[in-house]
Amino acid sequence: MKDQSQPEVGATTSEQLEAPELPSLLEATKVWLRIGCLSFGGPAGQIALMHREVVDDRNWISDRRFLHALNFCSLLPGPEAQQLATYLGWLLHGAKGGLIAGLLFILPGAVVMFVLSTIFVIAGDVPVVAALFFGLKCAVLMIVFEALLKVAGRALKGALPWLLAAVAFAALFLFSVPFPAVVLAAALIGALAPSVFSVGAHGEARSGPPALLDAVMAADPGYAKGLAKSARRAGILSLIAWAIPVVALLPLSGLYAEVAWFFSKMAVVTFGGAYAVLTYVAQEAVEGYAWLSAAEMLTGLGLAETTPGPLILVLQFVGFLAGYGPESSLAGGVAAALVTLWVTFAPCFAFVFLGAPAIERLQEKRALAGALAAITAAVVGVIANLALWFGLRVVFQEVQPVNWAGLSLDLPVLQSLDPAALLVVSLAALTLFRLKLGVIKTLSLCSLAGLGLKVALGL
């Protein structure tokens, strides 16, 4: 008699039929909070950290899908790293997951910026805080460099993608071409030559098991479609949430109406990240509205660069000082900063939730796949430009813009080399590439080393 307890050869057991499970929302929330607390170094460092957490370390998301989402977010106004977190959170756990991921990317930095803004208006300077974050900036430089090597190795397959990445870098670094123009040009080239870019350009397959999300989507082809309805609803609600304070405050005129209207405009023109609009913001906030001085604007930028979260949080500092104003009111500063945060980031969620379902639905189209893959190649050049921009300002205390024969270059003043920064950057390279201690240990060691050096040098 046949043993009924054993399945026949070739039979499918219930365990074999069991679909793969995504991480729980609680588990993902812990990871998004971790990313939000460690997201130093601007978009390049933040994207590098996110890639390490969800692609390299946990294999939740594939390289191809991560880069696909990044390409879309690069086209949107607003901070692309925060929008990428929202997109990936939505793919893993729907609109709720996207909202949690996006908010946790913002909140740690926003809380720190509130504290630093308060210290600044009360104490006038924050040298100890700057010393605390000095080592972090040095470590982030190496994290960005590591990400650049990984993304380039996986995304650039063939001579033309490498050439496009080099051209994108040159356009940004040498000719100061606007970021949106670089991305749109790359998209057009990719759409016209999809076979050149789409093959392998979204990252080659990893050895080992497939990414968890890919396995889930393979088991359930309607997975992404099932998330679309909640995303559209969340997108519409985000637009309404964005409009409420603007509509409520504009008829009242006064400071808060000006803050709501001004930063709402900024929310829809910040293509290419914060640096693309900082000149305009500084000019209007300093000269037009007289909310703060030029020196205070530079201080705000410095604080934003040394705190976690998107660099666009510098707008929160501007809003805080606008509300603090001549009456020296902390309550007024907090209220204006909250309005600034609300109207700056609410549209970011709307853009992602309204656009991501369409991008997921259309990603198998050859022209779109080619366009997004070409953007991936261009983004390698963008990351290289950001890494160089960031690196020059970490290792050298002075960087001088030079215009020569139609070129616009940022050249370091060699005499301003910072030995302490160079030492901590070298320590970060050692811990990451040689000792392979990982991000947390590298950031911790470099932060302590930077603080110790600054204290020894008298801050």
**pLDDT recorded at residue 130:** 66
pLDDT band at 396 (very low <50, low <70, confident <90, very high): very high
In this structure, what token pair is assigned to residue 76? Answer: 């949107």
pLDDT digits (tens, 9 = 90+) for 196-212: 876 544 444 555 688 99
**pLDDT recorded at residue 233:** 95
**pLDDT recorded at residue 364:** 66
CA distance 283 to 366: 43
* Torsion, CA 22, CA 39, CA 112, CA 396, rounded to 10: 180
Residue 102 has pLDDT above 80, yes or no: yes
Cβ neighbours for 31, distance < 8 A, ≥ 6 positions apart: 23, 53, 54, 58
3-state secondary structure at position 401: strand
pLDDT band at 15 (very low <50, low <70, confident <90, very high): very low
| Side chain identity, residue 338 | L
* CA angle 157–159–161, rounded 5-degree value: 60
Neighbours of 169 (CB within 10 A): 21
In this structure, what token pair is assigned to residue 366? Answer: 């050859």
pLDDT digits (tens, 9 = 90+) for 428-455: 999 999 998 877 788 889 888 988 898 8
- Over residues 378-400, the mean pLDDT reads 83
Q: Please name which of 26, 25, 27, 52 lies closest in space to residue 41, comparing C-alpha atoms.
A: 52
63-67, 385-389, 400-404: which is most confident: 63-67
pLDDT digits (tens, 9 = 90+) for 233-284: 999 999 999 999 888 888 877 899 999 999 998 888 676 555 556 656 777 8
Phi/psi at 407 (nearest 5 deg)?
-95, 150
Our measurement of the distance from residue 176's CA atom to the centroid of its chain's CA atoms, rounded to an integer in Å, reads: 21
Helix (H) or strand (E) holding 23: none
Separation of first and last alpha carbons in the chain: 84
CA distance 377 to 190: 10
Residue 457 or residue 18, greater confidence: 457
- Over residues 387-413, the mean pLDDT reads 83
CA distance 442 to 437: 6
CA distance 228 to 390: 37
CA distance 212 to 26: 17
Helix (H) or strand (E) holding 407: strand 407-412
Residue 14 has pLDDT above 50, yes or no: no
pLDDT band at 11 (very low <50, low <70, confident <90, very high): very low
Residue 110 has pLDDT above 80, yes or no: yes
**pLDDT recorded at residue 2:** 42
CA distance 36 to 346: 17
Residue 367 or residue 355, greater confidence: 355
**How confident is the prediction for the chain on average, in pLDDT?**
84
pLDDT digits (tens, 9 = 90+) for 329-348: 999 999 999 999 999 999 99
**pLDDT recorded at residue 16:** 42
pLDDT digits (tens, 9 = 90+) for 147-181: 788 778 877 888 888 999 999 999 988 887 877 78
What proportion of the chain, given as a percentage, has pLDDT over 70?
87
**pLDDT recorded at residue 8:** 41
Cβ neighbours for 26, distance < 8 A, ≥ 6 positions apart: none
Q: Please name which of 205, 151, 160 lies closest in space to residue 376, comparing C-alpha atoms.
A: 151
What proportion of the chain, given as a percentage, has pLDDT over 90?
39
**pLDDT recorded at residue 129:** 64
Give the global pTM: 0.73
- Over residues 82-109, the mean pLDDT reads 96
- Over residues 304-320, the mean pLDDT reads 87
pLDDT band at 298 (very low <50, low <70, confident <90, very high): low
